[in-house]
Structure 1
Amino acid sequence: MRPRPLPPDAEHIAALPPFTPLTLERIHVPATEDECGQAAAEISRHGYVGFDTESKPTFHKGEASTGPHVVQFATSERAWLFQVNNPASRAAIASLLGSTTTVKVGFGLKSDRSHIRARLGAPLRAVLDLTTWFRQEGYRNEIGVKTAVAIVLGQQFSKSKRMSTSNWSLPTLSSGQQVYAANDAYGAIAVFNALNAGAAGAERRWPITGLDD
């Protein structure tokens, strides 16, 4: 029986070279129906895209989340942030979430399925949760994007606590929010692409769910 692999600790990650994030000029926040439709068409041309959601945080016991408020997708070149409170984005979001030809790749997506259905009335299909894949590889702890980037890419992925707990329901996202949200999805597709590169990637059995429900 092979020993379980151990994730790098915080000190090790802090010593790694920085991950190069997407910058604002490669991040798009479509606002109109036409812009959302064009964004969805571009995203749909890819078989795998990075995926994540952001929700306005809850601070009181028993307070129910009203999220997700932002749904983000990323390729290896750019990212798109769809604001759920914008009615013009709803059809594009639903078509992408329900697509079985574009696999949504992310981390810790178990709760996203129920939240998305409750908020949008849309199914979340064709999902590859890399947290599940790392668990299948023997990692005991839950692996998120920061640790995965360290393991696979040997780089330090920076995440801002202040941005993560910011108000994602605002009608206009700040530049900091845009960069944070886009790179959560971009980090996921960067890890996937690295894992999938070469002959070893072709032999991997990815735990994709939601292809037939």
Structure 2
Amino acid sequence: MQEPVLPAPEEIALLEPFERLGLDRIALVGDGAQADRAADVLLETDVWGFDTESKPTFQVGEASEGPHVIQLATLERAFVFQLHDAHCRAVAGELLARTGVVKAGFGLHDDKRRITHKLGVEPKDVLDLDTVFRQRGYRRQMGTKAAVAVLFGRRYLKSKRAATSNWAQRQLSESQLLYAANDAWAALRVYHALGLTAPAP
């Protein structure tokens, strides 16, 4: 089978931007009450977009204390869980450990390991979308940008400044919220565009 052709970065740069969730559809979850409300909404669906963010490390050999933020998205809303509050951490852990709900995202091997270390739970039914693209003949690691270009013919916007910002701070900026929420939401859009409906293996 011939390997599908990926658009080159310069071709992607010419595409129209992919739509994004606005701040009105993004909820910052920082305490127990907010976490319980978020869980009620999330549990109405059986597939979530999933990603995490960690404060970057700059010293050689410095271990990450992440994740500091966990993002879970439905098609309508995205929830950005901060992990300072014990109840909030517990709810996020319970959601990720729940079976029967697909958590779809990109490059999640490291995220799963860090979550197990930090929250003491093993995320269940996690679907790394990279593996789906590999099964369909793509040899290169995809990631959100390439997947959105292939499936939607659009350019996924990512802020490098937000990516390398301090995710451990208690007050996240609007650009951080937009970045984090849309990473999870875009993964969910990709999941549906791939026509995936079965539970994750």
3-state secondary structure, aligned to 1:93:
helix
Corresponding residue for residue 77 of structure 1: 76
Corresponding residue for residue 48 of structure 1: 47
Contact 1:73-1:79 within 8 A present in 2 as well: yes
Contact 2:32-2:85 within 8 A present in 1 as well: no
Contact 1:106-1:185 within 8 A present in 2 as well: yes
Give distance in 2, aligned partners of 1:154 and 1:75.
22
Give distance in 2, aligned partners of 1:164 and 1:6.
28
1:92 offset after TM fit, Å? 1.1
Residues paired across the two proteins, number: 201
3-state secondary structure, aligned to 2:113:
helix
1:6 offset after TM fit, Å? 2.3
Deviation track 1:118-157 (CA, whole Å, cap 9, x = no partner) reads: 1111111011110111111111110001110001111100
Corresponding residue for residue 134 of structure 2: 135
3-state secondary structure, aligned to 1:52:
strand
Structure 1, unpaired ranges of 5+: none
Give distance in 2, aligned partners of 1:84 and 1:35.
12
- Provide TM-score, normalisation by structure 1: 0.91
Contact 1:31-1:88 within 8 A present in 2 as well: no
CA RMSD of aligned residues (A): 1.3
Deviation track 1:48-74 (CA, whole Å, cap 9, x = no partner) reads: 110000000011110000000000011
How many percent of aligned residue pairs carry the same amino acid? 46
1:87 offset after TM fit, Å? 2.1
Moved segments of 4+, more than 3 Å: none
Structure 2, unpaired ranges of 5+: none
Corresponding residue for residue 119 of structure 1: 118
3-state secondary structure, aligned to 1:184:
helix
Contact 1:50-1:187 within 8 A present in 2 as well: yes
Paired amino acid for 2:95: L
Corresponding residue for residue 102 of structure 1: 101
Contact 1:104-1:127 within 8 A present in 2 as well: yes
1:95 offset after TM fit, Å? 1.2
Deviation track 1:58-110 (CA, whole Å, cap 9, x = no partner) reads: 11110000000000011111100000122231121011100112110000011
- Provide TM-score, normalisation by structure 2: 0.96
3-state secondary structure, aligned to 1:11:
helix
Corresponding residue for residue 16 of structure 1: 15
Q: Aligned runs of 1:1-213 on 2, under 5 Å?
A: 2-196=1-195, 201=196, 208-209=200-201
Deviation track 1:147-205 (CA, whole Å, cap 9, x = no partner) reads: 10001111100001111000000001100000000000010011111222xxxx56xx7
